[in-house]
């Protein structure tokens, strides 16, 4: 492609200029390469002109000639290679072809290196979750239990627990068919009721699962409570709390621990126990807990429609909260009332699972007088409110 440009900004080294670079202009014309500067002018014949790339990233084009061994002219303007003189002169045409090949190879190397870097980063990124999961599964169950118990101790300081033996017994009776299908070999599951009016529940690593009294009293059936429990128990069995901590420690910690000494992790974990109480699970963890929870219900022959209808209650609750706090975040939403993924999205996913489920009916009735359980629970709440129990700091708004 011929270009109209005939002269190029250039620099030169010439013995006459001393040992320094002189700035000027290079012109290709009349069979000569001419360098013009304030210091004067000199010219090479185009025939037998040597052309090479040099400088950082081969940015410069050097012109030299065997007849003038100590002289060199260079330009950063690579358009010089498009000059018509290169087409007319066979030595120049060969030199240019050689340069083009070299540039092509250099470009391929750059692209190759970039692809390698991108590939490596992507590979490490993709491998991160499986690595975190693999690492979590290596953590001894006792550590996880200790971690969860440490965190739960803090919960019991800040929140009021309903510890009435009869209520506790009924809750365990309610959960029994579900617990029967959840793998029990790793964790000692412990169910707690927290006196709090909100529709919430949460699980800690190692088996502590807490349900708010508000959730138990709002539910219309034992199946609704069991739906929530299935979700929370899945957070435990899928090690979401532990995996969240490991993830927050960063990839470097994961890799070094994974390939190094796992016991160093024990201390780090217990130090991170408070983190569990403010931790928000990722969308993926929430989806996984919904799905695994559904599977547990299915295996226990418990009607998973309870889970869906409870989500509907939550959706209405969220709307109310949004009205109360327009534009505001639903702060301090412990686990179950999680805003990501959205409640309608979670319901839709469960409806899909239900549609594909081989078990659409023939569910087992829960062996519990649910209304009596709620009544007993409510009685314990009013008992504590009337001051028959030692008063602790209230963390919820009055009902
Ligand atoms: Zn959850």
| Residue indicated by tokens 């549609």 | 355
Rounded to 10 degrees, the C-alpha dihedral 111/116/121/126 comes to: 120
Q: 91 and 158: one domain?
A: no
Q: 49 and 145: one domain?
A: no
Which one, of 108, 109, 79, 110, lies nearest residue 96 by Cα? 79
Q: Is 310 helix (H, G, I), strand (E, B) or coil?
A: helix
Cα(284) to ligand 1 centroid in Å equals 10
Cα(294) to ligand 1 centroid in Å equals 13
Cα(334) to ligand 1 centroid in Å equals 9
pLDDT tens column, 110-165: 888 887 877 777 766 667 788 888 878 888 898 889 889 988 998 898 889 999 99
Cα(288) to ligand 1 centroid in Å equals 9
Final residue in a domain of this structure, among 80, 105, 130? 105
Q: What is the mean pLDDT of the chain?
A: 84
pLDDT tens column, 75-111: 999 899 888 888 888 888 888 899 889 888 888 888 8
Residue 175 placed within a domain: yes
339 contacts: CB under 8 Å, gap ≥ 6 = 318, 330, 333
Q: Is 253's pLDDT higher than 80?
A: no
Residue 58 placed within a domain: yes
Residue 126 placed within a domain: no
Cα(245) to ligand 1 centroid in Å equals 15
Q: 152 and 272: one domain?
A: yes
Cα(290) to ligand 1 centroid in Å equals 7
Q: 165 and 267: one domain?
A: yes
Q: 191 and 143: one domain?
A: yes
Confidence of residue 206 (pLDDT cuts 50, 70, 90): very high
- Picking from 84-93, 120-129, 206-215, 295-304, which range would have the lowest pLDDT averaged per residue? 120-129
Q: Where does the chain show beta strands of DSSP type E?
A: 7-13, 22-29, 32-37, 40-45, 49-54, 60-65, 72-75, 161-162, 190-194, 201-203, 208-212
Residue 395 placed within a domain: no
Q: 256 and 155: one domain?
A: yes
CATH of residue 39: 2.30.29.30
- Number of domains within the chain: 2
Q: 359 and 222: one domain?
A: yes
Alpha carbon distance 152, 170 (integer Å): 22
Cα(201) to ligand 1 centroid in Å equals 8
Residue 223 placed within a domain: yes
Q: 53 and 150: one domain?
A: no
Cα(335) to ligand 1 centroid in Å equals 5
- Whether 353 contacts 304, CB under 8 Å: yes
Residue 122 placed within a domain: no
Residue 290 placed within a domain: yes
The average pLDDT across 332-349 equals 73
Confidence of residue 271 (pLDDT cuts 50, 70, 90): confident
Q: 167 and 253: one domain?
A: yes
Cα(203) to ligand 1 centroid in Å equals 8
| Domain extent for 25 | 7-105
Q: 91 and 145: one domain?
A: no
Q: 153 and 210: one domain?
A: yes
Q: 18 and 91: one domain?
A: yes
Residue 363 placed within a domain: yes
């Amino acid at each position: 492609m011929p270009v109209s440009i005939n002269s190029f900004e250039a620099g030169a080294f010439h013995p006459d200029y001393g040992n320094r670079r002189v700035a000027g202009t290079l012109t290709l014309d009349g069979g000569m390469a001419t360098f013009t500067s304030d210091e004067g002018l000199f010219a090479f014949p185009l025939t037998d002109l040597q052309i090479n790339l040099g400088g950082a990233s081969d940015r410069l084009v050097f012109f030299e000639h065997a007849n003038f061994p100590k002289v060199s002219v260079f330009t950063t303007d690579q358009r010089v290679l498009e000059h018509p003189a290169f087409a007319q002169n066979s030595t120049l045409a060969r030199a240019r072809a050689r340069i083009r090949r070299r540039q092509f190879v250099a470009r391929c190397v750059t692209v190759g290196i970039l692809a390698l870097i991108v590939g490596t980063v992507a590979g490490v990124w993709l491998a991160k979750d499986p690595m975190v999961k693999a690492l979590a599964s290596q953590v001894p169950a006792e550590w996880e239990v200790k971690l969860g118990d440490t965190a739960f101790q803090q919960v019991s300081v800040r929140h009021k627990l309903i510890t009435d033996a009869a209520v506790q017994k009924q809750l365990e009776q309610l959960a029994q068919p579900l617990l029967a299908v959840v793998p029990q070999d790793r964790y000692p599951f412990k169910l707690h009721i927290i006196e709090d009016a909100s529709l919430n529940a949460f699980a800690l690593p190692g088996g502590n699962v807490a349900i708010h009294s508000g959730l138990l009293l709002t539910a219309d059936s034992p199946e609704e409570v069991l739906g929530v429990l299935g979700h929370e128990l899945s957070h435990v069995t899928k090690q979401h709390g532990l995996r969240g901590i490991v993830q927050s420690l960063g990839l470097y910690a994961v890799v070094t621990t994974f390939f190094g000494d796992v016991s160093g992790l024990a201390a780090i974990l217990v130090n991170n126990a408070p983190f569990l109480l403010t931790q928000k699970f990722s969308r993926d963890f929430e989806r996984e807990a919904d799905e695994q929870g559904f599977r547990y219900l299915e295996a226990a022959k418990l009607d998973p429609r309870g889970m869906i209808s409870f989500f509907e209650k939550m959706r209405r609750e969220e709307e109310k909260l949004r009205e109360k706090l327009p534009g505001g975040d639903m702060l301090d939403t412990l686990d179950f009332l999680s805003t990501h993924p959205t409640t309608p999205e979670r319901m839709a996913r469960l409806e899909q699972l239900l549609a594909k489920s081989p078990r659409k009916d023939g569910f087992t009735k829960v062996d519990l007088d649910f209304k009596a359980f709620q009544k007993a629970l409510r009685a314990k709440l009013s008992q504590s409110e009337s001051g028959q129990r030692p008063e602790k700091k209230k963390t919820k708004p009055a009902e």
